[in-house]
């Protein structure tokens, strides 16, 4: 005589209908906890996306020795960095760019001749990681006439360090938040189970197995968790829809933060699945102490 799934579902739904306040409290707690966790995870995801976008500004420059053939060097660079945008920058153009960058201070360059800066070949390397940038720079040193290769070493290294620390800190905070959430939800569901301790006792006295008693509670926890997590996912989507125009206005156009950057499908799915898992786990833990009684 095993459990009848339909009967378990019916008993779980009946229990929630009998105690709507308790069910609502559990769903609200999980919703609040999932929303908080989701907001934090979305910030973390957006932060990582912005850092990646900033890393996308990286350009590698191959400075040529005086007298080197710029076009030949450009072809060599293009061959060594296939698929990347390669641009030959003659000395005069480099000086003009520098002057433009200096703006009003461009007069400081007035004493310099047109070949004050070396010819260079530039490689756009959006989103390149530090080890990859190092490897590419090493290959580019073999370009005929190359005097120096610069890939913004210091900037990239600082950025990489910041990214990895931010990722670690974010994950640690996320784990702490998830643990705190689990404790909070567990306590709420424990109250719900405690409120029904007489029912558990009576069912056991008439011969119910732990599985018979526990299955509807577990299903309730699972459903309440999934509903709480699902509502949090919907709330985050709504929040994003409401705030997206302001966010777009606040960020430079080359750094767009789309819905998928802040709230990727995996995160939304994890909120629902995580809510369900926390609900199930918290219900199970809360039940254990009652089921252990004779």
Partner 1 sequence: MIQLFHVSKEYPGEPPALADVSLEVEKGEFVFLTGPSGAGKSTLLRLIFCADRPTAGQLLLFGKNVSRVTPAEVPFVRRHIGVVFQDFKLLPDRTVARNVALPLEVRARPDGEIRRRVRELLRSVGLEHRADKLPPSLSGGEQQRIAVARALAADPALLLADEPTGNLDPERTQEVMELLLAANARGTTVLIATHDRSLLARHKRRVVHLERGRVVSDGAGRPLEAR
Residues that bind partner 1 (CB under 8 A): 1-4, 7, 18, 198-199, 201-210, 212, 292, 294
User: Smaller CB distance to partner 1: residue 100 or 198?
Assistant: 198
Least distance from partner 1 to the Cβ atom of residue 193, Å: 15
Least distance from partner 1 to the Cβ atom of residue 218, Å: 17
Least distance from partner 1 to the Cβ atom of residue 288, Å: 12
In sequence order, the 6+-apart residues with CB closer than 8 A to the CB of 267 are 38, 41, 42, 45
Least distance from partner 1 to the Cβ atom of residue 283, Å: 19
User: Smaller CB distance to partner 1: residue 137 or 213?
Assistant: 213
Least distance from partner 1 to the Cβ atom of residue 202, Å: 5
Kindly give the interhelix angle for 210-250 and 5-18, rounded to the nearest 10 degrees: 70
Cβ proximity of 45 and 261 under 8 Å = yes
User: Smaller CB distance to partner 1: residue 74 or 196?
Assistant: 196
User: Smaller CB distance to partner 1: residue 5 or 256?
Assistant: 5
User: Smaller CB distance to partner 1: residue 1 or 154?
Assistant: 1
């Amino acid at each position: 005589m095993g459990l009848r799934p339909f009967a378990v579902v019916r008993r779980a739904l009946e229990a929630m209908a009998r105690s709507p306040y308790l069910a609502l409290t559990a769903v609200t707690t999980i919703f609040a906890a999932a929303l908080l966790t989701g907001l934090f995870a979305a910030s973390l995801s957006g932060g990582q996306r912005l850092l990646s976008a900033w890393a996308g500004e990286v350009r590698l420059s191959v400075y040529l020795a005086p007298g080197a053939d710029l076009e030949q060097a450009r072809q060599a660079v293009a061959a060594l960095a296939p698929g990347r945008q390669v641009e030959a920058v003659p000395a005069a153009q480099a000086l003009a760019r520098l002057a433009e960058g200096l703006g009003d201070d461009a007069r400081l360059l007035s004493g310099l001749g047109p070949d004050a800066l070396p010819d260079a070949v530039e490689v756009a390397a959006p989103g390149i990681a530090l080890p990859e940038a190092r490897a590419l720079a090493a290959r580019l040193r073999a370009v005929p006439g190359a005097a120096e290769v610069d890939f913004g070493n210091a900037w990239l290294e600082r950025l990489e360090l910041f990214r990895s620390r931010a990722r670690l800190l974010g994950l640690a905070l996320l784990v702490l938040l998830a643990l705190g959430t689990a404790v909070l939800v567990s306590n709420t569901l424990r109250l719900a189970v405690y409120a029904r301790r007489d029912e558990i006792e009576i069912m056991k006295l008439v011969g119910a197995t732990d599985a018979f008693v526990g299955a509807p509670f577990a299903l309730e926890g699972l459903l309440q968790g999934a509903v709480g997590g699902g509502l949090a996912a919907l709330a985050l989507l709504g929040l994003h829809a409401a705030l997206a125009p302001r966010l777009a206005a606040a960020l430079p156009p080359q750094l767009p933060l789309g819905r998928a950057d802040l709230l990727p499908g995996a995160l939304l799915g994890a909120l629902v699945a995580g809510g369900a898992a926390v609900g199930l786990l918290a219900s199970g833990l809360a039940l254990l102490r009652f089921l252990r009684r004779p």
